[in-house]
Amino acid sequence: MTSTSDEGWRKVPEAELTRRIKLVQASMEKHGVNALIVTAQDNFIYLTGFDSPTWVNLARPRYCVVPARGELILVVPTTNLSAVERMTWVRDIRSWVSPNPVDDGLSLVADAVCATTEPEGVVGMEIGPQSRLGLPATDFMALRERLLPRRLADADGLLREVRKVKSPFEVAAIRAAAEATSRAFAGLAGQSLTDRDECSIVQDFRALLFAEGVEDAPYLVAESGFGGYPSLQMAPSSRRLSDGTVLSIDAGCRVGGYFCDFNRNFCVGRIPDISRRADDLLWQATQAGIEAARPGSTAADVWYAVAQVLDRGLEAIGGRRTRSGRMGHGIGLRLTEPPSVHPEDTTVLVPGMVITVEPSAEFEIVTPAGTAKRMLIHEENLVVTYDGPQLLSMRAPRGLPAAR
């Protein structure tokens, strides 16, 4: 999946990065963009291979300039210089001492862009839907002024289009993350969870993840409740698991910078019948979505395959689909990427696309404390291949697994 230098640093192969740069430059030509300025973590990693814990430090920005032709230009603070030189194949690296409130690298970026584009050119930046800039808003406005009369345009869209289809190198990274996370979930299933709180369980799960080879686990949410959970967006709490409890852990874990994203449900003791029936419907709906994810199908086709199973079965138990809108999404260097498994997303699936299938259902249940709304979610990760869908996560067993 990665090459390793003599110093132990993992490095994305030069041929892989060269391929990516050529794809992006071809897309730039297609969209009439003469240069790109990339600042977001995921796009920066995609084009350069530079991934470091320093991304959490917002005091210092870093820039990747992509000309229409030729090699990249990196503009990074001196504190990143050594790491960038060791982790990337880029030869043109320019640096400044940061933080510098007067000029935090902007002059170097403007000089690089102006030297590679005509005054009437178009400069792309990550300013469209779902994008994030990796520099302060005031610096963005100042940079825009420095680049005049060049026109700024959104480039995140063209980058996302290129990144939708993963290379074998990228699929291998996502597979490694998914397999390690699957092994950790299997290890957790073998532990006693009864009368334990969510925090301690997730703490043990985190240790299992790293023992199995996960490098980073930035997204771990967990919720539990009698017969289901109220939502699945919260960090673990001190809530304890007792008879009738269903616990879900949703894990977004990384290997080589690439995410997997799926959940697993665990139950304690005697679970209400409605919960078991809803869980089985979700398993069947997930299976239908997996089987629909074939080359030539659309993301919407996958959604309809899932929805058909859910709608047919949930009506019988008084349940309904949740209002999440989509039932799956792409994954890669971001936890969620295009396409969306949504009825209006007509993206045609092609080999190399990696998506999740994620149906969810909600229903009312009588708990010891009274009537309450509950939900259940199932999620799996797969890659589309010429031979059809191929699971990356280990398939969840049919039927709620009973915790000890």
Q: pLDDT, tens digit, for every residue of 68-124?
A: 999 999 999 999 999 999 999 999 999 999 999 999 999 999 999 999 999 999 999
Cβ 354 vs Cβ 262: under 8 Å: no
- Rounded percentage of the chain residues whose pLDDT exceeds 70: 97
Cβ 380 vs Cβ 179: under 8 Å: no
The pLDDT, as a whole number, for residue 3 is 54
- C-alpha distances (whole Å) from 344 to each of 303, 341, 358 are 9, 9, 16
Task: Name which of 371, 368, 360, 274 is nearest 318 in CA terms.
Answer: 274
- What is the DSSP pairing of strand 92-96 with strand 73-77? parallel
The pLDDT, as a whole number, for residue 7 is 46
Cβ 57 vs Cβ 79: under 8 Å: no
Q: Can you list the alpha helix ranges (DSSP code H) found in 49-167? A: 78-87, 106-116, 137-147, 156-163
Task: Name which of 404, 367, 399 is nearest 278 in CA terms.
Answer: 399
What are the tokens at 303? 């959604």
What are the tokens at 95? 């640096």
Average pLDDT of the residues in 299-313: 96
d(CA 37, CA 143): 11
d(CA 276, CA 272): 7
Is residue 2 pLDDT above 70, yes or no? no
The pTM assigned to this predicted structure is 0.94
Domains and CATH numbers, the chain: 3-163 (3.40.350.10), 168-391 (3.90.230.10)
Which residue in this structure is represented by tokens 């280990």?
Answer: 394
Q: What confidence tier does 313 reach under pLDDT thresholds 50, 70, 90? A: very high
- Mean of all residue pLDDT scores within the chain: 94
d(CA 21, CA 121): 20
The pLDDT, as a whole number, for residue 5 is 46
Is residue 349 pLDDT above 50, yes or no? yes
Q: What confidence tier does 283 reach under pLDDT thresholds 50, 70, 90? A: very high
What are the tokens at 222? 């967990």
Q: What confidence tier does 9 reach under pLDDT thresholds 50, 70, 90? A: very low
The pLDDT, as a whole number, for residue 11 is 86
d(CA 371, CA 273): 15
d(CA 327, CA 359): 5
**Torsional sign, CA 40, 263, 315, 272:** negative
Cβ 306 vs Cβ 315: under 8 Å: no
Task: Give the residue, 90 or 3, on which the prediction is more confident.
Answer: 90
**Torsional sign, CA 20, 23, 28, 34:** positive
CA 218 to centroid of chain Cα atoms: 10
Cβ 214 vs Cβ 253: under 8 Å: yes
193-228 per-position pLDDT tens digit: 999 999 999 999 999 999 999 999 999 999 999 999
Is residue 326 pLDDT above 80, yes or no? yes
The pLDDT, as a whole number, for residue 232 is 86
Burial class (CB in 10 A: 0-12, 13-18, 19+), 319: buried
Beta-bridge partner residues of 330 = 337, 355
Contact partners, residue 371, CB within 8 Å, separation at least 6: 364, 365
The pLDDT, as a whole number, for residue 335 is 96
Q: Look at residue 217 and give its three-state secondary structure.
A: strand
